[in-house]
Amino acid sequence: MTSRIAVVGATGTLGTFIVDLIGRTPDLELHAGLSSRDDLDRIVGADLVVDVTHPAVSPGIVEHAVRAGIPVLVGTSGWSSERIAKLSTVVADVAGPGVLVVPNFSLGSVLATRFATMAARFYESVEIVEAHHQGKVDSPSGTAVRTAELIAEARRDLGPVSAPSSDQRARGQQVASVPIHSMRLRGVVAKQEVVFGGEGETLTLTHDTLSPRAYEQGLLVALAATPGITGVVVGLDRVLPLD
């Protein structure tokens, strides 16, 4: 059965890539390609909505789709735990379809974050350095925020990460006690380093995105999984067989 997909943010870099991927994939069909300024009622009739827009408008787009009864795959950054909690309330109130929020579609990035949560139990000194292209509008990145939150969760019974001199502005923005340092540079697609410090050693987990092709396999997994989602699910790892 062919799945009809509406892409909101279709004119952006990731949106353009997704539209092309849909065109190359059997059993997927582009129902509509919209910019964030287009009439959202054009999504009506789609089996799935993909939101890859801007943090400022993404919540309204996602809520519109949920209230229209259409499952949503969110690839827009900036979805904090507070925003996700509000969305969960909306989905529950309207008994709406499920929403899958994916901070990063790269399988390598998902695995690097999983490895970081494993290491977090053994190190209390942790910092994240992330770099993206100069056009990325938010910082820290959604991937860095998600990584920090999962590190904190992994350390729930051990205590927060040690982040000395947090009052110094150059020490990075703390998310769940983890300092995050963001760079926006020409020539970069995406890169994240999670650095763990221990007695007499450091451990660095690095993931580099070299081209948008890195997102292809994860996108296909997410597109297939989203219609079966119940409630709000965060992370590509939640629909991958990692355990």
User: Strands 48-51 and 3-8, how do they pair?
Assistant: parallel
Catalytic residue among 64, 86, 136, 191: 136
> Number of C-alpha atoms within 13 angstroms, CB side, residue 233?
20
Residues annotated within a binding site for NADP(+): 37
Residues annotated within a binding site for NAD(+): 9-14, 75-77, 102-105
The closest of 165, 161, 182, 184 to 173, measured between CA atoms, is 182
Distances (CA, A) of 61 to 13, 67, 119, 125, 128: 18, 10, 37, 38, 30
Task: Give the span between the Cα atoms of 139 and 128, in whole angstroms.
Answer: 12
Residues in the chain: 243
Residues annotated within a binding site for (S)-2,3,4,5-tetrahydrodipicolinate: 133, 142-143
- 13-24 helix and 216-225 helix, angle to the nearest 10 degrees: 70
Task: Give the span between the Cα atoms of 165 and 25, in whole angstroms.
Answer: 50
Task: Give the span between the Cα atoms of 166 and 51, in whole angstroms.
Answer: 35
Backbone angles phi, psi at 233, to 5 degrees: -120, 135
Residues annotated within a binding site: 9-14, 37, 75-77, 102-105, 133, 142-143
Residue 86 a catalytic site member: no
- 216-225 helix and 107-120 helix, angle to the nearest 10 degrees: 80
Catalytic residue among 31, 132, 181, 207: 132
Structure token digits, residue 86: 């509000």
Residue 54 a catalytic site member: no
Which residues does the annotation mark as catalytic? Answer: 132, 136
